[in-house]
Structure formats: structure tokens, C-alpha cells
Chain A
Amino acid sequence: MEIASLTIDQIREGLAGRRFSAFELATEALRFAQEENPKTNAYLRFCPERALAAARRVDEALARGADPGPLAGVPVAVKDVIVTKGVRTTCGSRLLAQYVPPYDATAVIRLEQAGGVILGKANCDEFAMGSSNENSAFGPVRNPAAPDRVPGGSSGGSAAAVAQGAAVVALGSDTGGSVRQPASFCGVVGVTPTYGRVSRYGLVAFASSLDHIGQFGRTVRDAARLLQVVAGRDEMDSTSAFAPVPDYLALADGRVRGMKLGLPREYFQGLASETGDLIARGVEVLKGLGCEVREISLPHTPYAIACYYIICTAEASSNLARYDGARYTTRSASSETLSDMYRNTRGEGFGAECKRRIMLGAYVLSSGYYDAYYLKAQKVRTLIAQDFSEAFREVDALVTPVSPFPAFKLGEKLEDPLEMYLSDIYTITGDLAGIPCLSVPCGRTAAGLPVGMQILTRHFDEAGMFRLAEAFERAGGCEG
């Protein structure tokens, strides 16, 4: 068993053929992940008891001749903003360093019911705020492809764990690109499904009109299998969608001939040249598969970053109000009065980026500024979503870069928050519109840095997105 490159298909065959048990696989996966972790800091903590118990359940089901589930024995990393009952969940924040959730997120319950084996909790930017994973209170994550560079963020630990073979698949969260951008930087597949496709019960809230639970895998099929299991209506999240969940793998049948693809011209300006060249080669491969490619326009793209950072900070300032020193483990030692308790707990507990976003959010929502910022941004969001609706009248999918450049060096953008925000340009639009999007590996630069290609489709058309991405991957990616 080659642990670092295992796929779900190989695990299914291995278990079915009795070549290894789920318990043996979990033991080996834990050993490998723990041994490799100092190289990347991808995991914040492991939960071996929980992992081995899950593996034993799979083996018992197999011994009974019962179906052990579609993720039977699959080692999974879960981003530390998704709650796990009895397993510390810190959100990458000092404030929650000791927080032990009393319940499991729906996505966690579903993946364990499907036989998945959670190895541990993955590092991330504090409360999922960041594009480099440098905002974690527990140290940055290093990119497995280049240890002096960031893995992307905010789900940097989930992406790095999958890239280095320390998990087969992982759950992350995406509010403005936090799954696709690290997937692109680390050279794995990252999926942001339609808004509402996956229940967010148990996802610690950052910006509720933008938050998604996303999926990572080393292959399109593996990421699709994970989404298959966690997707679908959940009574515990009233924003989760009722739309039926189709069989993604059955629909990823390679039939992409005649698919109409749009290249939004606004997404091909200001690209690093190697990134642009690799995406261009990827587009040629798609043409070679029989796709019809045309240039289109998403005219409101230049307004997306301003729009996004108003809405997400406003929502974050509201969502993070709950960390008040009364309920969630941490209270400042100087809490003489109630007001001191609030102000000091939050002042001492939140990191710099969280404070910056809480401040921005409080400012744009404050009396006299609401119409100028928040309401204006909500209107611009409508325009951005309309751009996509119009594009999807002409084409079946959009193909774009994920990030203007590959993974940058640790520390390179830390001192310039606006510069960091601007790097999210190609990923935040999909979140603003609520459409499904993914990053699929599209070659490497001369220096060996992975580059991802983004595919975006209509609301609830994850199947079309997977079909195109899987055909591209099967054709050999941009080397095809």
C-alpha cells in the first residue's frame, strides 16, 4: 500500500480483496501523517482514538457482510473550523484554544456514517480569514511543494494534508476562495459546491451569506465522492438546499464533446505569465476534447473585491460578536466589569486579521455608513450574480485561473492587507454568485509550483463541473 498516493478506488479494492483491514489502513495513515506533520504543520491535532474506532466499525461491517459505506476506511482531514464532538476545535484562534464542542457538524456525521475515518483537525487561518494560512494562532502551514512558500488559505492545512498524502480527502471551508486557492497552490483538487449544497450545521460561522463547506482530493473522483456523501438537505441548517443530489461519479462519464465553455476576458488580465501560459495550455486540452471555447465578458468583475470585503467583514463582525468571554472557554484575566470582560477578552484573544475585519465590518455597518457601503455592496453583488446568469445563457461552464500567481513566499504579503485581499480576485466572484466552482491541477511552473484551473458552472450543476474536470484530468491535465 503506497499510503501517500492512495485513492478511494484503491481503498475499496484493498478492503474488498482483504489485502488490508480498515484498522491497518487507519494505523498506517495515522503513523504517516504524524511523521510527516512537522514538515508542514498541516494538522493541529490528531484524534487517533476516534479514527481507530471508526476503522473498527468499518471492519465489523465488512465481517458481517454489510455495506461499510462509500467512504469506508478513507482517511480524512477536517478543517478546524468544523466542529467535532469531544475533539478540540480551535478555528486557528487563541480564543478557542481549549474549546471542546458538545456536538458534531452534519458533514462530520455524514462522512463518518459513510465509513470515513477522521485522522485529525487541519490548520487554517484564524476563523477562516486569510489567503495564506499565516493568520493561524498555531503557526503557519508550509506548502508541501515548496516549504518556504505558503499553502494558500484559509484551508491551507486541509490542502497541504491531501497534497502530502497525510489524508486521502479533506473538508475545508470556502467564503472567498479558501478551498480553491489552497488547492491550486498545493496541486490538489478543491471543490466549492453551490451555496446551500452542503449543510453548514457545525461550521463555525464567518460570513453566513458566503460560507460553504468544501472538499479536497488528489483526484476529481475522490473530491466528488466526498461531496456526494456530505451534500443534501439537512433539517439542522435551514439554508441547506432541497435540490436532489445526483450521482456525480456516474455523470463524470467523459462526455464533454460539444460542451460550450466561456473564457471571461476580465480573468486573463494581469496574470503572472507562467500562470497564463499553463491555463492557455489547459484550454487547448479542453478544445482537443471537443469542447467549444469562446471569449465572454463578466463586466462587473473589477468591483468584486470591494463588494466582497464589505459584505464578508460586515457579516464577520456580527458573527464574531459571540466571542464575548462569557461562553467560549477564554476570558481575560482583567474582567472587573462586564464591559472590560468583553473588550479585553476580544482584544487579547483575536489576532490582527480578525481584528482588522471586525473593525471594517463594524465601520461599514455603523450608523451613517450602512447605505454607502453595505447596501451598495449588496446591490453590486446582484450585478455580479447577473453577469454569471447571462454568461450561462451562452455557455455551459466558465474556465479561468484560480489565482493570478502561484504560491508566494511566507511573509511576502503579510504586511500589506490590501495586496493580500487583491489576490482573491478570481475566486470571490463564484462565492458572491453562489455557484459551484472547483480548482483542478493544471501543471507546474518551471520552479515546480502547482497552478490550478478553475471551472465554474450553473447553480447545482456540480455534475457538469466534475464531468469537465474529470475529463481534463484523465486527458493528463495541461500535459495532455
Chain B
Amino acid sequence: MKLTEEQVRYVAGLANLKLTAEEIRRFSSDLGEILAYMDKLNELDTRAVEPMAQVLYEAEETATWRADQERAVIGAEAALANAPLSGAGFFKVPKVIER
């Protein structure tokens, strides 16, 4: 099984990934092969099975609740220290709205 290059480009768009032509060719066979393998799950009848939405949680549902109180946080300066571009206390990104 292969994904078509068009399908690969569609998924790359969903994932916001720019791929090279070579990567698109490679993924159309790689992903196709892996997805074909995953079809193995269809051998199992799971109509009566609940999906595992919670791995393991034995405490009461409210156990992790806490008072909504202000706490010390790392602060804007530290948070912005790793920004590729920042200014005036904000992350700066390319302009989105044209004047």
C-alpha cells in the first residue's frame, strides 16, 4: 500500500510541515507500509470494548483540585528569553493582518 503524494501533501499541510519532494516520495511509501501494518487491528472485534481514556487513576476525581490562588511564576522576562524574536513583553511573529 502507498499513500498518494497528494495525500502526503494534505497531511503535511495539517501538520504544518514543509516537506521536500524527496521526503514526499519517501513518506508515501513509508507511511503506506506502516498504515497497512496497522490494519492488523481490524482482526479484533472491539464493538463491546471501552476505549482506554485514562491510563490509571485510583484517586478521587477531585483529588487534584486546588484553590485558584495566584502563585509565583517564572515571569515574562524568563519566558521570553528563548523567543527567536520578542519585544515590549511579547513574542513577535510575522504580521498577520494587513493595514
Contact = CB atoms under 8 A, between A and B. Distances in A.
A326 B17 contact: no
B21 interface: no
Given A195-B55, A196-B57, A355-B23, A99 B40 contact: no
A10 interface: no
A301 B74 CA distance: 44
Interface stretch (A19-27, A133-141, A380-388): A380-388
B23 A327 contact: no
Given A242-B59, A326-B93, A103 B14 contact: no
Contacts of B8: 359
B19 A355 contact: yes
A339 B13 CA distance: 10
Contact of B31 (A324, A336, A360): A360
A363 interface: yes
Given A102-B74, A383-B46, A459-B56, A359 B27 contact: yes
B88 interface: no
B55 A196 contact: yes
Contact of A335 (B50, B64, B82, B94): B94
Interface in A275-314: 300, 302-303, 305-307, 309-310
B46 A380 contact: yes
A375 interface: yes
B49 A379 contact: yes
B58 interface: yes
Contact of B84 (A210, A330, A364): A330
A343 interface: yes
User: 5 smallest A-B Cβ distances: which pairs?
Assistant: A347-B18, A378-B51, A331-B84, A102-B78, A379-B46
A378 B52 CA distance: 5
Contacts of A102: 74, 78-79, 81-82
18 contacts: A100-B81, A102-B78, A196-B56, A235-B66, A241-B56, A242-B63, A303-B43, A321-B16, A324-B16, A328-B82, A329-B84, A331-B84, A356-B30, A378-B51, A379-B52, A382-B51, A385-B52, A417-B30
A327 B91 contact: yes
Nearest to A334: B18
A378 B91 contact: no
Contacts, number: 159
A363 B35 contact: yes
Interface string B11-44: 1101111111001000100110111011111111
Contacts of B81: 100, 102
Most buried by A among B17, B33, B59, B81: B17
Q: Is the interface of B mostly helix, strand, loop or mixed?
A: loop
Interface residues of A, number: 75
Nearest to A376: B41
A243 B17 contact: no
A356 B30 CA distance: 8
B55 A209 contact: yes
Given A382-B50, A383-B44, A418-B37, A362 B55 contact: no
Interface string A315-359: 001000100111111110001111111111011101010011011
Interface in B64-97: 64, 66, 74, 78-79, 81-85, 91, 93-94, 96
A434 interface: yes
A195 B83 CA distance: 33
B92 to A, nearest CB: 8
B46 A376 contact: yes
B84 A363 contact: no
A300 B20 CA distance: 38
A445 interface: no
Contacts of B40: 302-303, 306
A429 interface: no
Nearest to A238: B64
